[in-house]
Amino acid sequence: MSTFETIPSVTRDTRYVLTLGCPDTTGIVARISTFLADVGGWIVEAAYHSDADSGWFFTRQAVRADSVSLSLDELRARFAAEVAAELGPETEWRLTSSAEPKDIVLLVSKEGHCLHDIVGRVATGELNARIAAVIGNHEDLRDFTERLDIPFHHVPFPGPGEDKSAAFARVAELTDALNPDAVVLARFMQVLPADLCAAWAGRAINIHHSFLPSFVGARPYHQAFARGVKLIGATCHYVTADLDAGPIIEQDVARVDHADAAADMVLRGRDIEKVVLARGLRWHLENRVLVHGRKTVVFS
């Protein structure tokens, strides 16, 4: 756990955050908002989405915690009994408090730009989170990490084609011991095996350095250079067993031209990777991302 001195420049009131998805029907909003009004909830954020394609309804609502006289557990119990029960068995919902910082484990390789960026955002309080550990398959980022009193674990990986299961088991052991809210593949460069994708479903977040679905797999900037595209991109997505095909949380692009060699694209792409990962990670930690099938609803 990082103990280096940070002076957060962001302070926010504590909020109770409800996220919910269920089959769409008339009157859901009325039911939820009447419930929140009954418990005195002062709504500070409210977002809704009716998905005509899937027939599902999604909402995220944030109320000021100090406007509700119930504890979080009491609120959960009443919501379950008075609202969720009526919305049917397929309904998925969560009620959480924004007060507690979330725990993150970062998986890294040699490239440090995403690590540097997330460390900075934790230090300024932009991310209400703790970096519980950094796990690297190389030693390159140990010095920077440990100087900031963040635990660094080196797990060496065998080369291409060799059996990596022992290395992944060690990564899983170190990670699961910390029970993190997010496992971030911050340019990790190793493909997670299917069992870890399943175990960390909805919590493992990857930053891929292309505008997916273009340029899946290795060396996407070199693929982009060879194709002669005029924009490069980055994609933050949940990790699934299908390589680079998980639900997309966020994407962005930057302009390149004929004067940019592949190495220039690598450099320029870093700035997109950093902001796309940072947005995706923050939205995940603030419960702004609802996954439905292969897609996401993001109440940003």
Catalytic annotation, residues? 244
How far apart are CB 182 and a copy of itself at their closest, in Å? 19
Q: Is 151 an interacting residue with respect to a copy of itself (CB under 8 A)?
A: no
Q: Is 298 an interacting residue with respect to a copy of itself (CB under 8 A)?
A: yes
Q: Is 9 an interacting residue with respect to a copy of itself (CB under 8 A)?
A: yes
Q: What's the distance, CA 260 to chain centroid?
A: 31
Q: Is 69 an interacting residue with respect to a copy of itself (CB under 8 A)?
A: no
Instruction: Report the C-alpha gap between 106 and 195 in whole angstroms.
Output: 19
Residues numbered 156 to 195 that lie near a copy of itself (CB under 8 A) are none
Structure tokens at 243: 């390589």
Residues numbered 238 to 267 that lie near a copy of itself (CB under 8 A) are 247-253, 257-259, 261, 263, 267
Element (H, E) at 165: helix 165-176
Instruction: Report the C-alpha gap between 73 and 216 in whole angstroms.
Output: 43
- 49 vs 170, beta carbon nearer a copy of itself: 49
- 33 vs 96, beta carbon nearer a copy of itself: 33
Structure tokens at 24: 């769409």
Q: How many residues bind a copy of itself (CB under 8 A)?
A: 80
How far apart are CB 179 and a copy of itself at their closest, in Å? 28
Which residue among 23, 67, 170, 178 contacts a copy of itself (CB under 8 A)?
67
Q: Is 14 an interacting residue with respect to a copy of itself (CB under 8 A)?
A: no
Burial class (CB in 10 A: 0-12, 13-18, 19+), 239: buried
Which residue among 71, 81, 94, 295 contacts a copy of itself (CB under 8 A)?
295
- 100 vs 139, beta carbon nearer a copy of itself: 139
Under DSSP, the state recorded for 52 is T
- 206 vs 251, beta carbon nearer a copy of itself: 251
Which residue among 78, 96, 144, 169 contacts a copy of itself (CB under 8 A)?
144
Instruction: Report the C-alpha gap between 66 and 14 in whole angstroms.
Output: 8
Binding string to a copy of itself for residues 209 to 238, with x set by CB under 8 A, is what? --xxxxx---------xxxxxxx-x-----
Q: Is 148 an interacting residue with respect to a copy of itself (CB under 8 A)?
A: yes
Structure tokens at 135: 């796990």
Structure tokens at 22: 């269920």
CA atoms lying within 13 Å on the CB side of residue 63: 25
Residues numbered 109 to 138 that lie near a copy of itself (CB under 8 A) are 110-113, 116-117, 119-120, 123-124, 126
- Put residue 63 in one of left, alpha, beta given phi > 0 → left and psi -120 to 50 → alpha: beta
Question: Using DSSP, how many helices (H) and how many strands (E) does the chain show?
Answer: 8, 13
Instruction: Report the C-alpha gap between 4 and 168 in whole angstroms.
Output: 29
Give the gyration radius of the chain's Cα atoms. Answer: 21
184, 104 contact by CB (below 8 A): yes
Which residue among 16, 20, 22, 41 contacts a copy of itself (CB under 8 A)?
41
Strands 43-51 and 56-64: antiparallel
Stretch that binds a copy of itself, among 99-107, 140-148, 170-178, 199-207 (CB under 8 A): 140-148
